[in-house]
Chains A and B, each alone.
Chain A
Amino acid sequence: GQQVMQIPQYQHVQEGEDFTTYCNSSTTLSNIQWYKQRPGGHPVFLIQLVKSGEVKKQKRLTFQFGEAKKNSSLHITATQTTDVGTYFCIYNQGGKLIFGQGTELSVKP
């Protein structure tokens, strides 16, 4: 079946460094969503990518959807301590959202 692998599982950075998490699928995805979950909190929707090669930006966050719609990335420029949390990529399968394993980001001040 369709599988999405998210890497890395953990990332520890110094404040001000950049951060990137990747999602890779074995098959073509119709769309992909990104969520952020703060420690102890619930996932919060960040963005959705639908088109091949799509790039979207939210302040210091840049989201990309690959040309083949099989991979996606989230890049954070100049991380801040407020960026701490787990970032999930999610794809839709028949009305159900399937979560990637998540990348847990920690930021050292």
Chain B
Amino acid sequence: DGGITQSPKYLFRKEGQNVTLSCEQNLNHDAMYWYRQDPGQGLRLIYYSQIVNDFQKGDIAEGYSVSREKKESFPLTVTSAQKNPTAFYLCATKWGVDRNQPQHFGDGTRLSIL
């Protein structure tokens, strides 16, 4: 969706390396999310944040870390503790905490192991 920028589009990680995926939005949305998608599967929630300086673990947070220092930015770090990082990573935003609001997605980052 326009207004959500994920970078890079493709990323390669070496063994033992931490890598950071960027997600920036100019939609002024309060909530931001990180999902992981494996081939042929649905999306699984890694972390989410509903307000600046606050975030919660999703279903598969182990091996990942996030920060939310600014409303516009929600970077995801894939640490060396994540032993199977190869996947398609999607960032999403949502206006407010109203459960009925739809989510808007970025174009994603494909992460692979070298």
User: Which residues of A are in contact with B by a Cβ distance under 8 Å?
Assistant: 30-31, 33, 41-45, 48, 50, 88, 92, 95-102, 104
Contacts and interface: CB of A to CB of B under 8 A. Distances in A.
Q: Is the interface of B mostly helix, strand, loop or mixed?
A: loop
7 smallest A-B Cβ distances: which pairs?
A45-B102, A42-B105, A99-B42, A92-B99, A99-B43, A101-B42, A102-B42
Query: Chain B interface residue count: which class?
Result: 20 to 34
Contact of B105 (A30, A44, A98): A44
Interface string B30-43: 01010100001111
Interface in B98-114: 99-100, 102-108
Nearest to B43: A99
A42 B58 CA distance: 19
B43 A43 contact: yes
Contacts of A31: 99-100
Contact of B106 (A42, A96, A99, A102): A42
Contacts, number: 50
Nearest to B102: A45
Given A100-B42, A101-B41, A95 B31 contact: yes
A15 B50 CA distance: 42
A98 B50 CA distance: 16
B108 A42 contact: yes
Given A31-B100, A95-B31, A43 B105 contact: yes
Interface in B3-57: 31, 33, 35, 40-45, 48, 50
A33 B102 contact: yes
B100 A48 contact: yes
B102 A42 contact: no
Contacts of A88: 42-43
